[in-house]
Structure 1
Amino acid sequence: MGRSSKDKRDIYYRLAKEEGWRARSAFKLLQLDEEFGLFKGVKRAVDLCAAPGSWSQVLSRKLRGKEEKSEEVKIVAVDLQAMAPLPGVTQIQGDITKISTALEIIRHFEGQPADLVVCDGAPDVTGLHDVDEYIQAQLLLAALNITTHVLKPGGTFVAKIFRGKDVTLLYSQLKIFFSSVTCAKPRSSRNSSIEAFVMCQNYSPPVGYVPNMSNPLLDHSYDVDFNQLEGPNRIIVPFLACGDLSAFDSDRTYPLQATLGCWPSRQSCKEKAISQTCQ
């Protein structure tokens, strides 16, 4: 199916075409890296739900580049569907809810854990926000579960999240495994979208925790009383709007003449409301 007229007008869609990215979502990861320095010191990275491969492209270009030691960098992309090959990226066509997939990732890393795990996966939205948020939450938890099998202590996990009324439950789960959890909204993510990204840094699982694919990480009932968490039980994480304010606005229409030459300076993200919840 062809792109809608809105997609064709979108400045990041056009820039992705000009720069050779497979999707406009590449700019989301680039802008997140500008703020958090995701790729510093990373030698082993995993891209979950990778197709069509824009985030794997970013990992390949940023981690391998033209350095002489690019052979030391290992990147694994995982998805149920196959995608076109990428230089320096090993593809696994598998299910992220299966232990066999986690074992295959570790095998490609020669027994070593990953430094970074990213996941831009999302379900086909139905337009029913409660349904979409629930399915996305389950996808995020599945990504987190396999991450506990392959990520090294102190590693970083980045994943898409749909902000909704139950988002506090996800934050509480993520805080169990990571000392630092931040909700970030890249400039290239449309303001009209409920998507954001959780930046989970310094992986430090509870003492004695054993990764297990059989049991869900978040076994809570989605009832009204339980979700109204208060006091110390309510998890509030920092919220960052990523992308310099002079950068292109993903919800604005720009003239077709806008080219790479008018690309604004890419500065680090500006903190908008450090104490504001992502709801």
Structure 2
Amino acid sequence: MTQGASGRDGGNSLKARVKTAKSRTLASTLWLQRQLNDPYVARAKREGYRSRAAYKLIEIDERAHLLKPGQKIVDLGAAPGGWSQVAAAKIGADKPKGEAKGKVFAIDLLEMAPMPGVEFRQMDFLDPAAPQLLREWLGGPADVVLSDMAANATGHKKTDQLRIIGLVELAAEFACEILGPGGAFLAKVLQGGTDTALLARLKRDFAQVKHIKPPASRSGSSELYVLATGFRGRREATGEDGAG
């Protein structure tokens, strides 16, 4: 573990405290305090990652061996780009021109600054034309679809669970439109929020479905990731049951 991961960057483990400004809510003050005291945030800045979320994908991949050289990756809700950075390095897409292997296409409603090995499109993945456009840009089906998206939190646990499940269901439907047989889908969910219908759908369309909580996910967070591997193929081409 590096010095940054130990949370002792300044030599002392003194926690930074943030004074509550009149224009700042208590929730935003607490979030800012967590950021200032988060060793992954400091480590990301030092190692050049755009967000602490990069370490979540790194840790998931260390366990699942999801990302491989030469793959075609789609990153949904990619901004600011931490996951795209990791994916590009893992599949070799960030190598110099002429040596590049693999492709990473990042999609977000927000703008994202350019980065080596990543092609970005500012668009809505829910646009009916998006799946076909992605296949054309990739030059064929994707190998992996990543989604670290989260619906805006309301503070009401049940509502937030329903909203993120709805978002994951849409992302899963999109993934099934652009993945090739054997492909994988990784998405953020909430503990206790992965409903039966979503799991049933994923188990129908993929050979294996499991949950992963990487160490970089804050211990007090209900954040969890669902990983579906071994895509069976698009149902319109293989039959209604999804079997190949």
> TM-score, with normalisation over the residues of structure 2?
0.80
**Stretch deviating more after TM superposition (165-174 or 21-30):** 165-174
* Structure-1 residue corresponding to 2:66: 38
The residue type paired with residue 49 of structure 2 is W
Deviation at 1:71, TM superposition (A): 2.6
Out of 204, 209, 216, the position equivalent to 1:176 is 204
* Structure-2 residue corresponding to 1:22: 50
When residues 209 and 96 of structure 1 are mapped into structure 2, their CA distance, relative to the original with a 3 A threshold, is farther
Deviation at 1:70, TM superposition (A): 4.2
* Structure-2 residue corresponding to 1:91: 120
Q: Normalized per residue, which structure has more helix?
A: 2
1:162 aligns to 2:193 (yes or no): no
Identity %: 35
| Whole-angstrom distance in 2 between the partners of 1:157 and 1:165 | 17
Q: Alignment length, in residue pairs?
A: 210
| Whole-angstrom distance in 1 between the partners of 2:41 and 2:56 | 12
| Whole-angstrom distance in 2 between the partners of 1:133 and 1:165 | 5
Out of 34, 59, 62, the position equivalent to 2:87 is 59
- SS of 1:147's partner is helix
1:135 aligns to 2:166 (yes or no): no
Contact 2:95 2:117 in 1 (8 A): no
Q: More relative contact order in 1 or in 2 (CA 8 Å, sep 6+)?
A: 1
Q: Deviations over 1:78-137 (max 9, x none)?
A: 111111111111111111112211121111112x10111100000121110111001100
The residue type paired with residue 133 of structure 2 is E
| Whole-angstrom distance in 2 between the partners of 1:177 and 1:202 | 8
| Whole-angstrom distance in 1 between the partners of 2:202 and 2:194 | 13
| Whole-angstrom distance in 2 between the partners of 1:85 and 1:9 | 28
- SS of 2:106's partner is strand
Deviation at 1:167, TM superposition (A): 2.6
When residues 69 and 180 of structure 1 are mapped into structure 2, their CA distance, relative to the original with a 3 A threshold, is farther
Which runs of 5 or more structure 1 residues have no equivalent in the other structure?
212-279
1:72 aligns to 2:101 (yes or no): yes
* Structure-1 residue corresponding to 2:239: 208
1:198 aligns to 2:229 (yes or no): no
> TM-score, with normalisation over the residues of structure 1?
0.70
Deviation at 1:42, TM superposition (A): 4.4
Out of 136, 140, 144, the position equivalent to 1:107 is 136
Contact 2:72 2:102 in 1 (8 A): yes
The residue type paired with residue 47 of structure 1 is D
Q: Deviations over 1:164-198 (max 9, x none)?
A: 26533321121111110010000010121111001
The residue type paired with residue 102 of structure 2 is V
- Root mean square deviation of aligned Cα: 2.2
Which runs of 5 or more structure 2 residues have no equivalent in the other structure?
1-27
| Whole-angstrom distance in 2 between the partners of 1:97 and 1:163 | 25
| Whole-angstrom distance in 1 between the partners of 2:99 and 2:63 | 24
